Copies of this chain bind each other. A is one copy, B any other.
Amino acid sequence: MEKEDATTLSSSLRPQFSVLRPSSSPTIAIVGSGAVGCYYGGRLAQHGLPVHFLLRASYDGIRQRGLVVKSLDGDFALPPDEVNAYRNPQQMPKADLVMVALKTTANGMFRSLVGPLLKEDTVILTIQNGLGNEETLAELFGRERIVGGLAFVCINRMADGSIHHLDHGQIKLAEFDRPPQPRTARIAELFNGSQVRCEVLDNLRYARWEKLVWNVPFNGLGAVLDKTTDLLIGTPEGEALVRSLMAEVIATAERLDLHYPADLADQKIANTRTMGAYRTSMQIDRQQGRPLEIDSILRRPLEIALSNNVAAPCLQTLYRMASLL
């Protein structure tokens, strides 16, 4: 791992990002009280890291019962007095690493939720869905703070507040619009040391668009039609529709110089067939009457397609239908 030269960084006015220092035990803040934030934050806390959770709906439950996780990688529970839970970010310590796991529908609250947690050298890792999250955080807080993460995980919060981690779990990390830095590897180490497989990628946009190839059809159609993934590709018409959407996302990515294997759609569909009757997060959000992540998963990709003169009529139709839900 490269050694940082603090003087150089200071002289160029770049913050030092204390999370980088191998000797320190970084203070970690989790913003977003959903299943994803609680699971990953819980793993880090389980392995001895000082984790502070900003919670909303789940605050009372965690105060009473602690954080209870059933996981295919091993169940664990943190008792109430071992969970640093907060309702108000003003009461939290400044963090070395802020992990943002909010629904993207709450991105309008970044300033009030993330702002109070920052010191000069805080790194912000967003593991949210879709496009635009890094850009919005960068505009508010400075682009050099920002690391993007993709969570490949199947996870739900149950009625009793416990977290059920059902499948997968890997995180892939990349710097926002620049190659990996020493800190990227250091964050990956934090996860890998906490039973979360984590990999560093060279190109965040490549990974984000690849994930969209799956998220656009399955989250979009899953929400509009209220159908699990197996049903969406269970008929020739359904599979053709999924493939048309994937083709438009891939064509847009190609226009951005992001080139994927020719059989990417085949791979994604074959992989989806192994998942059974999977409910995407957007389908679950719809069923539970929560706001849908339409902007980050459908609208932004569509805008990028249109502004790059890529025809995306299926995506446009899907976006417009989703916007009517």
Contact = CB atoms under 8 A, between A and B. Distances in A.
Contact of A313 (B225, B238, B314): B314
A57 interface: no
A227 interface: yes
Nearest to A233: B324
Contact of A323 (B235, B244, B313, B314): B235
Contacts of A321: 221, 224-225, 241, 321
A78 interface: no
A234 to B, nearest CB: 8
A317 B316 CA distance: 10
A160 interface: no
Contacts of A325: 225
A319 B237 contact: yes
A21 interface: no
A231 interface: yes
Which of A235, A324, A325 has the largest number of chain B CB atoms within 10 A?
Answer: A324
A324 B244 contact: no
B240 A324 contact: no
A314 B319 CA distance: 11
A249 interface: no
B241 A320 contact: yes
A317 B319 contact: no
A325 B221 CA distance: 11
A238 B321 CA distance: 7
A196 B321 CA distance: 37
Interface residues of A, number: 24
A232 interface: yes
Contacts of A232: 324
Contacts of A319: 237
A280 B218 CA distance: 27
B225 A317 contact: no
A153 to B, nearest CB: 26
B224 A317 contact: no
Given A224-B224, A224-B225, A225-B224, A313 B317 contact: yes
Nearest to A241: B320
A323 B238 contact: yes
A14 to B, nearest CB: 42
A318 interface: yes
Contacts of A323: 235, 237-238
A12 to B, nearest CB: 45
B317 A237 contact: no
Nearest to A239: B320
Contacts of A241: 317, 320-321, 324
Interface in A244-292: 244
A309 to B, nearest CB: 16
A286 to B, nearest CB: 11
Contacts of A324: 221, 225, 227, 231-232, 235, 237-238, 241
**Which 5 A-B residue pairings sit nearest by Cβ, starting from the closest?**
A313-B313, A241-B320, A317-B317, A237-B323, A237-B320
